Amino acid sequence: MEKSKRLAFKIWITQYKDFHVLKSGGIRTLIDMPLNSFPSTVSKETLKLKYVISTSSFNRFLGRSGPKNAFNATSLERLLKAGVLGLKSFMCPSGINDFPMTNSSHIKV
């Protein structure tokens, strides 16, 4: 379900055929990648916004994954408690300003 450009989450979830095909086919779970739609899921607030939009349009469970990067390292626990199912990071530039590269100093062993 990758689109050629990042779209506003509300537009993507309400207007694209692939999403409606999932819905009509009985798919009950969809995982939103943190930077594939705008706003990127980089905070508890953006997570809540995507949850409100998705539940009003989809009426199913929409799982969210969150970022692991230098700018939100302190908010990871809040994101996990708010329902993020996993974390994603890039060891190279992602191309998205609000989703910067992670380096070895950001990763705990």
- Residues 80-105 pLDDT 10s: 888 887 777 788 888 877 777 887 77
pLDDT for 11? 59
Closest CA to 60 of 36, 25, 88, 15: 25
**3-state DSSP helix/strand/coil % of the chain, to nearest 5:** 40, 20, 45
Distance CA 37, CA 50 (A): 10
Q: Is the pLDDT of residue 39 over 60?
A: yes
Cβ(90)–Cβ(99) below 8 Å: yes
pLDDT digits (tens, 9 = 90+) for 10-32: 655 555 556 666 667 776 666 77
Average pLDDT over residues 37-60: 73
